[in-house]
Amino acid sequence: MTIPAIPRWHFGMMNDQDRNKPLRDAIVATVRPDDLVLDIGTGGGLTALWAARCGAYVVSCEANPAVADLARRIVAANMLSHRITIVEGMSTDLRIGPAGLPRPADVLTAEVFDCALIGEGALPALADARARLLAPDARLIPAAGTLWAQVVDSASLHELNHVHTVDGFDLSAFNAASTPGYFLQHVDGHRHSPLTDPFELLRFDFAGEPVPVSGTARHQVPTIHRGMAHAAVLWFSLDLGHGYELANPPGRARHWHQGVYTFPVPIPTIPGGSLCVEVEYEGTALRLRPAQSETAPTLPTPAGEKAATRAGGRQDDGAPRGRDR
Ligand SMILES: C[S@@+](CC[C@H](N)C(=O)[O-])C[C@H]1O[C@@H](n2cnc3c(N)ncnc32)[C@H](O)[C@@H]1O
């Protein structure tokens, strides 16, 4: 039997014990018997199964019909069909009523985070759930998320997305095809030296104010070494509550990669200097504008660059974001 269109990263994710343990422990610490749990993104069903094992009733929605079908089989095989209902479709289409959630949920579980936090559509999903599907005092797993960045000197990472002269030939016209957003990479496989300390690029309080699905921020970041700022390495940390955290920084071999955002024009740095890093995000799309602080010029962008779209979890480079994490 061939099952179409299920990204292979599901396997690595389900077997990633460094991911599973804090998620499971946070669910066990949070969910009470007879809670109604809304689980956004069923996948293989793990988050729903953990919540059901705590005695909760779970409505779990899954956008991918083939995944939803497998999840139903898994739930049945584990004899938890009386506690878990899988609803096929996007959480944003879920309604409160007989075919959806019987009432606003007491607990939200949502593990819909790509390596740079927002690329799997977590922000619109969580904003919508907060507005429509949760009780006012609902407990959220995760309760908050931070997108971290660190500017690095790395010709190796830059060369994954830009080209200049090769063997005496000028190939730079090809840079019109550079990925304008971030792309996935295990950065430990590339020589890179940090030019800044890690800094909080964006922080979201999922349980507090309405979750903003778009916004901008500007950071003045001290530079600590002399070098060329070729790229920013991106990763997230999630506050799962009760002291549990999930994160994918460089140096940890988890199924998640890091995000790499290359700068079209590398910027020289010195110790004691600073970079101005502007970030703009909308839904699943992220744009960085780095500049030397004194001048703060807007960097030239590759021809044809435009705001990223969200359809199907893709960024504007056309690469399927669901292909890997
Ligand atoms: C990363 S997997 C997590 C699976 C499971 N919850 C776990 O933690 O093991 C996320 C799944 O959510 C689905 N998904 C992502 N956003 C969704 C949304 N807003 N509504 C419904 N399904 C969504 C994806 O198709 C994918 O199968």
Distance 284 CA to ligand 1 centre (A): 15
Distance 179 CA to ligand 1 centre (A): 25
Pocket test for ligand 1, best of 120, 123, 130 (most atoms within 8 A of CB): 120
| Mean pLDDT in residue range 104-121 | 98
Report the CATH number that the domain containing residue 306 is assigned in CATH: 2.70.160.11
Q: Which of 54, 87, 111 is the last residue of a domain?
A: 111
Is 163 a member of any domain? yes
pLDDT for residue 295: 46
Using pLDDT thresholds of 50, 70 and 90, give the confidence band for residue 325: confident
- Across the chain, mean pLDDT equals 90
Same domain, 292 and 165: yes
What b/e sequence results for 244-255 when a residue is b if at least 16 CB atoms lie within 10 Å of its CB, and e otherwise? bebbbbbeeebb
Query: Rounded CA gap, 313 and 320, in Å?
Result: 7
Structural domains in the chain (count): 2
Q: What is the pLDDT of residues 134-168, one digit of tens each?
A: 999 999 999 999 999 999 999 999 999 999 999 99
pTM summary value: 0.90
What b/e sequence results for 98-116 when a residue is b if at least 16 CB atoms lie within 10 Å of its CB, and e otherwise? eebbeeebbbbbbbbbbbb
Using pLDDT thresholds of 50, 70 and 90, give the confidence band for residue 9: very high
Q: Is the CB of 114 under 6 A from ligand 1?
A: no
Query: Rounded CA gap, 125 and 211, in Å?
Result: 9
Atom of ligand 1 nearest to the CA of 19: 8
Same domain, 56 and 152: no
- Of residues 152 and 303, which shows the higher confidence score? 152
Q: Is the CB of 120 under 6 A from ligand 1?
A: yes
Q: Is the CB of 85 under 6 A from ligand 1?
A: no
Query: Rounded CA gap, 217 and 215, in Å?
Result: 7
Distance 279 CA to ligand 1 centre (A): 26
Q: Is the CB of 121 under 6 A from ligand 1?
A: yes
Q: Is the CB of 61 under 6 A from ligand 1?
A: yes
Containing domain of residue 153, as a range?
Answer: 145-323
Same domain, 196 and 97: no
pLDDT for residue 2: 58
Q: Is the CB of 258 under 6 A from ligand 1?
A: no
DSSP sequence for 169-211: EE-GGGGGGS-SS-EEE-GGGS--EESS--EEEEEEETTSSPP
Sign of CA dihedral 188, 198, 235, 233: negative
Q: What is the pLDDT of residues 183-227, one digit of tens each?
A: 999 999 999 999 999 999 999 999 988 999 999 999 999 999 999
Same domain, 209 and 317: yes
DSSP sequence for 10-33: HHHHHT-HHHHHHHHHHHHHH--T
Which residues have C-beta within 8 Å of that of residue 218, sequence separation ≥ 6? 276, 277, 278, 279
Q: Is the CB of 6 under 6 A from ligand 1?
A: no
Same domain, 167 and 100: no
Residue 81 has pLDDT above 50, yes or no: yes
Same domain, 95 and 204: no
Phi, psi of 311 (to 5 degrees): -55, 130
Report the CATH number that the domain containing residue 65 is assigned in CATH: 3.40.50.150
pLDDT for residue 308: 31
Same domain, 204 and 318: yes
Q: Could you give the dihedral angle defined by the CA atoms of residues 301, 220, 155 and 175, in that order, rounded to the nearest 10 degrees?
A: 0
pLDDT for residue 292: 82
Same domain, 154 and 100: no
Q: Is the CB of 40 under 6 A from ligand 1?
A: yes
Same domain, 305 and 167: yes
pLDDT for residue 252: 82
Is 183 a member of any domain? yes
